[in-house]
Structure 1
Amino acid sequence: MNETGIRIGVAKDSFVYTRRGREVLIPTATNRELISLVECVSATGVSLPPMLIMKAKTILEQWAVDLPSDYLINITDSGYANDQTAIDWIKHFDRMTAAATPPETWRLLLIDGHGSHLTAELANFCESHYIQLYALPPHTTHLLQPLDVGCFQPLKWYHSRTLDWASRTGAVDIRRSDFLATLAQIRGQAFKENTIKSGWRKAGLAPFCPEQVIAPLRAAEAARNLNEAVEEAEDVLRYLTPEVNNSSGEEEEEEEEYSSIPVLRGLSPGTQDRFFRQIWDARGSLREELAQAFATPRPHLAPGDIGWSTPKTVRVLNLQEKAVAYSLRCMLPYGVAEDVISTLKGSSVMARTATGLEQALNRTKAAEHASTKRRRRNHRVVNAGGGPIYAKDCREMAIQRIANEAAQQQAAVNARARRALVTRFNT
């Protein structure tokens, strides 16, 4: 098990390299609110439902609307884990794993050296419920913790991609309800069976292979030692080797001439001469092939051979564009054909742009509608400082509250009807 923090409106930095340098302004979310996720994965590739820790005083009904039923919602004053949240999570872990474990069978749980994981209350609970704790050595979780090695990086990446999509649809103000609405989808993409098993394998734990972790460390140490030795040897050579001034400029000119051709850099003069002779010999055969290719008449296509139809999608338009371009090159002079093809390409670009704008507009409208719907939800409190609660229980409490309010309203209506009846009877 391990914790990770996610800032609901902050994505990871990324760089896009293009051929031409051009500044492009991309909208980004600015909400830096932190939500902690307590995750646990097994060596068989199974991920347990997480516990969410949010900075709040009370738990609201709207938080559980879009969450899966077995997600555990918890709150603290800071949004970080503490001793009490560790106890809450270990009880959650016992509920989720006890049914699949034979009676009186110990369960091994890997933890880090955080102080909240080593309290007496937590140790006593684990001992009484057949949970064996094993704390990883300090400063090794980035190498030995399967979640850190294999799962948390994809989780942050998919969260960043979701934020990028939301920002491009106009949702710059990312709120807590928006993050909770997408959390299940993000976790489903990140915590896949192969990803989880890969994390255990890279950590050298399942299958057990210490060399998986030790070998890269040895290689890095050897590389550092080698670099240090090379630097020391270069210093000695620079000290022992005198500087030699080359008075002949012919060799320098020759080297500059050779270095001006990227393909010939690093080749000896004899190899370069053979290379030029091979190119000269190939010129004759290349001329003959080109003459034969231009002399061969290209087939002329009739308009009916292409299967014309009015393009209604971009895919059909792209297919017909290639056929039209080939037909024009066969039937028209070169200059006229290229001019018509350029016009055709411009029309295709405009059609694709219009289709993309239409799709983007539809996505933006859908995102705005969903965001507005989430913001209109009520902010009723489920439990005021009553401890963690599952999303399923939170929704059931909300349904029960709505039923009670409906019953109270119906009772009030019946009472008014009875009073009106009594008033008419008395008069």
Structure 2
Amino acid sequence: MTSGERGSNVTIIAAHMLKGAPPGLVGESNPSGGSNKIIFIKFIEHCLSHTKLTLEEPHVLMYDIHESHISLAVIKRAKERGLHLLTIPPHTSHKLQPLGHPVFGPFKNYYDKAVSEGMSTSGNVGRLVTIYDICEIAAKAYDLAFTPGDIVSGFKISGNIPLNKNIFDDSEFLRLYVTDHPLPTSNDGNVPFTANNSLTSPLQKAFLKMRH
């Protein structure tokens, strides 16, 4: 017999989406398909559980300033464990993100190739790839793309390690001039020349400051 009264709700988290995933991988889901503050703090905890860092021997985590990355919970937890957070300035991640071109670029290509090969094998022709297949496919691409050599190369060509402030020449900043604002002029039409503005606009100043 069962009671007619409503009992307590029990939630079971069953990670069926992790079929074929590498050992130790954890997964979270979000209806939007993106990350959020709750998921990212779990990512931080997962990293901390596999990293031997202390306040005396801190590590550095580099990332962009997505709203989920800079929550108070993340900053507080990182500070407690000796994890230094280094954010990449807006609109510069395509240049300063160490794992962009040398790692994630090839990863996407390897993933696409794995999907094509999987769909063309006997028994899979016409079958759609679903979210339950992603981990198994990504695991194959991950091993090929995330190699120590490519990771080290990514930090080098982005000027992060070893530190190289002159990794990008002036031509890298030319496209910014298209949206640059004109310098303010005085009543006689001349550009005021002061120690503050010289002949450099506010946008140019910001990037010159970032470079130096």
Assess same fold via TM > 0.5. yes
Aligned-CA RMSD value = 2.5
Larger relative contact order (CA 8 Å, sep ≥ 6): 1
- For the 8 Å contact 1:58–1:75, the answer to whether it is kept is no
Deviations 1:156-196 (A, max 9, x none): 00011112212332254112232222222110001011111
Secondary structure (helix, strand or coil) at the match of 1:156 reads: helix
Secondary structure (helix, strand or coil) at the match of 1:97 reads: coil
2:45 corresponds to which residue?
91
- For the 8 Å contact 2:102–2:153, the answer to whether it is kept is yes
Q: Would you say 1:204 and 2:193 are equivalent positions?
A: no
Deviations 1:127-151 (A, max 9, x none): 1111111111111110001122321
Identity over the aligned pairs, expressed in percent?
24
2:25 corresponds to which residue?
71
Match of 1:138 among 79, 82, 90: 90
Larger Rg: 1
How many residues of Structure 1 are paired with residues of Structure 2 in the alignment? 164
Q: Would you say 1:129 and 2:81 are equivalent positions?
A: yes
TM superposition score normalised by structure 1: 0.36
Distance 2:59 2:172 in 1: 35
Secondary structure (helix, strand or coil) at the match of 1:87 reads: helix
Q: Which amino acid aligns with 2:141?
A: I
Match of 1:190 among 127, 130, 145: 145
In structure 1, the gaps of 5 or more residues are: 1-56, 226-427
Distance 2:12 2:164 in 1: 46
Q: How does 1:26-37 map to 2 (within 5 A)?
A: none
Match of 1:109 among 61, 68, 72: 61
In structure 2, the gaps of 5 or more residues are: 1-10, 178-212
TM superposition score normalised by structure 2: 0.69
Q: How does 1:27-426 map to 2 (within 5 A)?
A: 59-98=13-52, 101=53, 104-169=56-121, 170-212=125-167, 214-215=168-169, 218-219=170-171
- For the 8 Å contact 2:107–2:142, the answer to whether it is kept is yes
Which has the larger share of strand? Answer: 1
Which has the larger share of helix? Answer: 1
Distance 1:140 1:222 in 2: 14
Secondary structure (helix, strand or coil) at the match of 2:138 reads: helix
